[in-house]
Amino acid sequence: MSDRLQKVMAHSGIASRRACEKLIETGHVRVNGKVVNTLGVKVSPADRIEVDHTTIKTEELVYFVLNKPRGIITSSDDEKDRKTVLDFFKHKVSERIYPVGRLDYDTSGVLLLTNDGSLDFKLTHPKHQIDKVYIAKVDGIPDEKDLNQLRRGVKLERNLKSAPAEAKVIKKVGEDEGNSLVELTIHEGRNHEVKKMMSSIGHPVEKLKRISFAGIQADNLEVGKWRPLKKREIRDLFELVND
């Protein structure tokens, strides 16, 4: 059975599908000894694929959820040599995995990691509108008018508006109950989106945690701990992005 070259590369753990496409377009990939630099080429299991003259090996597809701590980079590496989410998997997972989407440096919570480039691409593509649920500790207590703004979509920056979100105040917090916990469900993946949304209604975020991504939760995982996804969870993810 044949499949697209970039998909096979991503499944082999080389990089995300987007990164594999760039490797192909810039002439780093050979199939059966010949350079391939156009997308759409299909390969079969019998074909020999090389990236920078190194033959790739097919990896088993793996899927994990990490309860990401604050103060950790969501990246494969960091030029400032800061700790990244992959450091939690060192010497424990042999496959070359990478994070699905991003979580800000100071945001904690649910983060998926995999070597399945195809699934990664679909889960992060805007058309699938994957649910991302956050709990934000914010300054002040949003009223119903504030929440309705979030539900309709708010201006993030010039000529950019957020998509409608689900929003509710969970409870008041703080010594004088002057702050609150707000639950937000969004479907986009813009940088600092939740923070910008809450700032736009006058209730800036003080602390942020993602409690669910595509229905996957961290269950009782301690901060900094991870687990493989259950078969049911993997099946549910594929059903969400089934075209």
Query: In the chain, where are the structural domains located?
Result: 3-55, 63-127+215-240, 131-213
User: What is the 3-state secondary structure of the chain?
Assistant: CCEEHHHHHHHCCCCCHHHHHHHHHCCCEEECCEECCCCCCEECCCCCEEECCEECCCCCCCEEEEEECCCCECCCCCCCCCCEHHHHHCCCCCCCCEECCCCCCCEEEEEEEECCHHHHHHHHCHHHCCCEEEEEEEECCCCHHHHHHHHHCCEEECCEECCCCEEEEEEEECCCCCEEEEEEEECCCCCCHHHHHHHHCCCCEEEEEEEEECCECCCCCCCCCEEECCHHHHHHHHHHCCC
pLDDT of residue 2: 61
pLDDT of residue 23: 95
pLDDT of residue 148: 97
- By annotation, the residues acting in catalysis are 104
pLDDT of residue 184: 98
Domains 63-127+215-240 and 131-213 share a fold: yes
Give burial (CB, 10 Å; 0-12/13-18/19+) of 169.
middle
The list of the chain residues with pLDDT below 70 reads 1-2, 45-46, 58-59, 243
Could you tell me which CATH number the domain at 131-213 has? 3.30.70.1560
Could you tell me which CATH number the domain at 3-55 has? 3.10.290.10
pTM of the predicted model, to two decimals? 0.78
Span 6-43, pLDDT tens digits: 888 887 778 888 899 999 999 999 999 999 999 989 88
pLDDT of residue 50: 93
The answer to whether residues 106 and 225 touch, using CB atoms and an 8 Å cutoff, is: no
Q: Letter for the amino acid at 151? A: R
Distance from C-alpha of 225 to C-alpha of 172, rounded to nearest angstrom: 29
Span 156-177, pLDDT tens digits: 988 889 999 999 999 999 888 8
Distance from C-alpha of 211 to C-alpha of 53, rounded to nearest angstrom: 42
The reply to whether CATH 3.30.70.580 applies to domain 63-127+215-240 is yes
